[in-house]
Structure 1
C-alpha cells in the first residue's frame, strides 16, 4: 500500500497513542521548568491543514504557563511602523517556557506575499534576512522548531466543505480562506520559495503530512519530542494531607438561598 493510501487511523488507536505522547509532553514540561530551557515551535501550513487541532493535542494536558500559544491578529498601524519581526519577538519564551506560534513571521513568506499585503521588495528582503535572524535566535540559546503542515487539494476541499455545512465549524471559514483555496498554486510557489531560502542547518523545516489529521498529530508531536533532549525528572509523589477540622462548620448549608445553575442534565 502506498504511503498516501494508508487507511485513516482508527480513533481508538489514535487516542491510545496520543495518551502516551501527552504523558511524554508532561515529562518534557517538567524538564523545561527544571532546566530553564527556551523553545519556540513555529506551525505553518495551508488553511485547513490542521494547525488548530495539533495545538489542542499538544496543549490539552500541560500547563498554559509553560506551553504558551500565540496567534497574532493582523498588524496594527503601529505594528507596521516597527521592524517586521519585532511584534513576534516580544512573545519569545523566557526561561522554562515553550512558545507555540500558530502562524508566525512566516506570514510574510505566505499570505502577505500571495495576497499582496507586502511589496515584492519586502518579500525578497524577508527571505534574505530571515535565516540571519533565526541564526541569532538559535545562537541566543532558544531551540527553534519549524513544522510545515502539508494537506492535499482534495482533503482541503473536503474540510472547507465540512466547515460550510457544519454550524459549529463555520466560524473557521473566513473570506481569506476562500481566497487561499482559489490561489492554491500561488501558495504552492510561495511555499517552495520559502523552503528554498529558509530551510537551513540552523533552523530546518520539517514537513508533516496531515491528510489524515490523527496520523499527522501523532507524527508532529513525536517529532517535537525527538528534537528536544529532555529527561524525566524524578519527583516524589505528593500525598494529600489530613484536612484540619478546626473551625469546622456546615459549609454546604451556607449556600442555601444562593443562585444555582439549573440542572438540565
Structure 2
C-alpha cells in the first residue's frame, strides 16, 4: 500500500462503533456488505427482482413518451430536480426517465462549479437560464440546493450566504409555481453503509471510477453535518405548493419506479393508463421531513 493510499483510509463512527474504511482496498469490509441494504431504516430485506423491475419500467417509460407528446401539444413546461447525498442514484434515476424521450424537447442539466462570471451573479441566475420552454422537460442533476448542503458543509459559501439562501428559496420557487411550470423536487435518501458500498464499487470499477471525486473522499467524515443541513433544508423549503418528494433509494430499482410513478400520477395527460402506472409504494416514497422520522 502506498502513502497516498494510506492517507485515504479513515476511521468512521458508525452507530457508535469506530470502523476503519479504506476505499483503495479492493475487498469490501464485511460490516458494510452485511448492513448496506438495510442502512438508514430501509424497509425491505432484498432488492426488487430485476425481471419484474424491467417489465414495470418499460410500462412507465411508455407513459413518459405519452407525457412528452402531451407537453408538446399543450405547451406545458415540466421541470424536476434531483438531490441527495453523493452516490444516492440521481444520475441513474434521471437516465431511466430520459431514456426514450425525444432529446429535442427533453434536457438534462448538470452544471459544473460556477465560473468567475457566474459567481458574481445573483445565485439563482445560472439555473434560470436552463428552465424549460414551451413543451419541454428539464431534469436537473443537482440544482440550486447545492447551497443548502455541500456548500455550507465544505465551506464553499459563507454562513450569511447560507442563511440568505434558505430565506430566498421559498420565494424563488413560488415564482416557478406561479409561472405555471410543473415542478418536482426529489430527494433520494440512502443509508451510510450503502453510500460506502457504492463509493467502493465506483473506486474498483474502471467504468465508474470517474464518478468518484476527491470531494466524496473529503466528505466521508461529514455524514452528520450533511444530515443536519438536509433536515434544515426540508424544514425551510418543504411547502404545499413546492413539496419535497423523499425516496428511500438503497434499492435503485424501487426508487426509480416510484419516482416515475409519482410524476405520472401527478400529471393529467392524454391516454393515461393508471393500471400500467400502478400505485406508489408509500414505504419508499413520501413527502416532507416527517417521512424520514
TM surpasses 0.5: yes
- Whether 1:29 aligns to 2:37 is no
Match of 1:119 among 124, 134, 158: 158
Counterpart position of 1:256: none
Counterpart position of 1:72: 111
Q: Structure 1 residues 59-68 or 119-128, which shifts more? A: 59-68
When the two chains are superposed, the root-mean-square deviation of aligned CA atoms in Å is: 1.2
1:166 deviates by: 1.1
Q: Deviations over 1:138-162 (max 9, x none)?
A: 1011111000000111111111111
1:106 deviates by: 0.5
Q: Deviations over 1:177-235 (max 9, x none)?
A: 112332111100010010000001120001011100111110111111112222229xx
Counterpart position of 2:207: 168
Q: How many residues align?
A: 232
For 1:185-264, list aligned pairs within 5 A: 185-232=224-271
1:65 deviates by: 1.7
Match of 1:61 among 94, 100, 105: 100
Q: Which runs of 5+ in 1 are unaligned?
A: 234-265
Looking at structure 1, the residues matched to 253 and 124 of structure 2 have their Cα atoms a distance apart, in angstroms, of 32
Looking at structure 2, the residues matched to 65 and 7 of structure 1 have their Cα atoms a distance apart, in angstroms, of 38
Larger of the two Rg values belongs to structure: 1
Counterpart position of 2:149: 110
1:74 deviates by: 0.4
Q: Which runs of 5+ in 2 are unaligned?
A: 1-40, 273-293
- Whether 1:47 aligns to 2:122 is no
1:109 deviates by: 0.4
